[in-house]
Amino acid sequence: MNLPMNLLFWAASVVPVAFLLVVMMKFGWGVAKAAPVGMALAGLIGVLIYRSSPGALAVEAGKGVWNSATILMVIWPAVFSYELSCESKGFEAIRNGIQSLTRHELFQILILGWIFPSFLQGITGFGVAVAVGAPLLLSIGVSPFYSIVIVLLCHSQGGTFGTLALAWEALIDQAGVNGTQEAQAALLAAAMIWVFNLMAVLLTCWFYGKGKGIREAAPAVGILSLIMGGGQFLLAPVNSTICNFLPAAAALGAAFVLSRTKRYGREWKMADSPIMERKIQKEQTEEKMSFHQAFLPYYSLTGITIFCLLIPPVYGILSRWSVALSFPETVTGYGFVTKADPAFSPLKPLTYAGTFLALSSVISYVYYQKKGYFHSRSLKAIWKRTVQKCMPSTVAITCFIIMSKFMGSSGQIYVMSQGIVLVLGRFYIIAAPIFGILGTFITSSNMSSNILLGNFQRTAADLLQVSPSVTLALQTVGGVLGTAFSPGCVIMGISTTGFAGGEGKILRMIIPWAVACAIVFGGVAYLVLC
């Protein structure tokens, strides 16, 4: 490989990512507008500067379409399920049900914005937690902007070990570390995720009521964080597959117990909270649906997921069928090789989150129609709104992933990464989480980021003569930080709350916190090692 490593090539590799950040944060472009341009820039730079061929770009575009299809298979059912709940007035019932369970407004926010989304993230992933949690917060009076921001920040508990540890397994597969190094990396990653998630929850309390909000919620936050974060920390080096799911389930149960205590069962709220729009709650209507009926989509989703994934004989049968595409090897004019893949990104439809969401939506639709919560003609209206909300997401996600494929196959990501390592030396450890953030921002997936950069982080550790467990932990934690503002997750929140055009405002709120945490985590690792 004779790929040049100079300032021109490095600067060119940064252009697509820098463009997206500038136009979305500074000029307020929506993702559906920015993504196609970013994709085109990555392709042009690949051909004109990195000597990639149009044929190679076509191959990578095919990979991107396939990868985006697997993500869209989650987004479309998630939005349909949301519209189903809207049509049946389910969110009104959920709002009333939560308020009858606990009259403590801040605790309601913690349940719907932190605990329940973290539980969903543990069993589904792919932004489902954001798609579900944001409209639930909206239904109890939280403003659309803060509904999205709170869930984006607080669902991070399952960012690596959620979805039964798919992102973590992808990282370990790419890096090729031994059992001891894997356990050490899991322990470090779980510790940092715990810290970030606790900070995100405390920040949520600060949004609601500053110091008074933190003091009021502190006992519950401490208990629930200890269950979720502490449980994941203890289980991660032992069994990564269930280390997120079991503690999240336990925390969900504990939240309902806490709602019966004197402190969190009483009526409590701050009338001047800047994140609330209580005019929504004044629109009282006669409740047709019970709380548990309104939660049917989520009960059925949880039940289907547990049955299909956590019962070994059932999972063994369902996971046998997989679908994958074959792609040839591509080589740039500089000799940068992307190996052939006879079974690229295999999908197991019967154990896939999108399938579970679709099934839960069908079950809920049939039940609600039978109960008379809407008529059969309502299906057309539900589907129409689903299409309207999902089309911009479909364009954006497809273009983002194709862009990442263009950058990866042409060598742009390789040059960008290697250039930083050569310049920073051992200070690279401080920057290691930033790579995880960038990878997740580009691909909208911590799993994809780990696949893209896992081997590089391992190589960097070898060059720097440090344990790969450190750089791998920083990589995936950076990915967790990135999920808090990744385009895919932001799109999910916007699609289900109707906060169109608010991408830039959301990014400006979250990115400084995520980057600050990344620098702190990297800095602590540097001080310990150096």
- What local confidence, expressed as pLDDT, does residue 142 receive? 94
Tell me how far apart the alpha carbons of residues 324 and 454 are, in angstroms, rounded to a whole number: 22
Say which residue the tokens 């909208």 belong to: 444
Residues found in the chain: 530
* Alpha helices by DSSP H, 114-244: 116-123, 128-139, 144-154, 162-175, 179-225, 231-235
Closest CA to 236 of 528, 476, 522: 476
- pLDDT at 124 (0 to 100): 64
pLDDT computed for residue 111 by the predictor: 94
Give pLDDT, residue 430.
95
> 128-139 and 116-123 helices cross at what angle (nearest 10)?
160
- Confidence at residue 395, expressed as pLDDT on a 0 to 100 scale: 87
- Token couple for 151: 């869930």
pLDDT at 283: 47
The pLDDT score that the predictor gives to residue 198 is 97
Q: How far, in Å, are 302, 400, 407 from residue 41 at the CA level?
A: 41, 11, 10
Query: What is the pLDDT, as a whole number, of residue 242?
Result: 81
Query: Hey, what amino acid is at 353?
Result: A
- pLDDT at residue 404 in the model: 81
Give the per-residue pLDDT at 285.
47
Residues lower than pLDDT 70 in the chain = 123-126, 164, 279-287, 443, 530
